[in-house]
Structure 1
Amino acid sequence: MSVYKSSKGVEMIAIDSGKIAAMVAQMRSAVATVQAPISPVIVGPTKGSVDFGQVFKAQMDQVNALHQDAEKLGQRFSLGDDSVNLSDVMIASQKSSIAMQTTIQARNKLVTAYHDIMNMQV
């Protein structure tokens, strides 16, 4: 971006289209990363059944990995690593936060369902 004066004395700003194209490419790559396919469900010992414990552990491991990645990116950015962009840090942080919120909401639904079943009269 450069600033220059027009013939009428008004300051004009010239925008570098190369920088805009680079920013658009960076945003597209971030969107492609976010839209990555979700890991498959782990199938239990019998065909067609799902082991809840394995699925729960896999989900918790995924949430933990997202949190650790966000922490590492944040630390690298704070230490001045030029290969880490602020947008990457913010995206990783938001992905981690959303994964944690989703896990908490699923847990709350499971606890509510458990209480409902336990309070049923037989």
Structure 2
Amino acid sequence: MNVRFPPLSPLDALGAAGTAAGVGGLQRSAPAGAATGVRQAQFSSVLENALKDVSQSQLQSGELQKQVQLENPKVGLEETMIAMQKSQIHFQAALQVRNRLVQAYSDIMNMQV
């Protein structure tokens, strides 16, 4: 699973509220790659793709397990065990990301304004 998040500036966290009108007197400038036509990945699309990779890894691992149980000579036990370990690592990484996001949300919601 290749999860690469683009670097965020503090103003990126403002979302739509920080558009051309600005927030709190701050004007939001265009991203550095906007002038050159480089598209920055949205956090939601990066997260969605990562979760799809985790799901695909688990499906592949399950299929290999099924083939080993059916005694398919083309599928080796070593290959199946490696796929199972990879899918487990992918799932654990996704779980840690989810836990961090929930903790960050809780921290933000508990802030005094």
Fold shared per TM-score above 0.5: yes
Aligned length: 83
C-alpha distance in structure 2 between counterparts of 1:60 and 1:110, whole Å: 14
The match for 2:31 is none
1:20-65 CA-to-partner distances (Å, cap 9, x unmatched) read: xxxxxxxxxxxxxxxxx937669xxx54643111111100100000
Greater percentage in helix: 1
Structure 1 alignment gaps of length 5 or more: 1-36
Normalised by the size of structure 1, how large is the TM-score? 0.61
Normalised by the size of structure 2, how large is the TM-score? 0.66
Choose 1 or 2 for highest CA Rg. 1
The match for 2:72 is 81
1:108 lines up with 2:94 in the alignment: no
Q: Which has the higher contact order (CA 8 A, sep 6+)?
A: 2
Q: Could you say what the CA RMSD is over the residues aligned between the two structures, in angstroms?
A: 2.2
Percent of matched pairs sharing the same residue: 35
Greater percentage in strand: 1
The match for 1:94 is 85
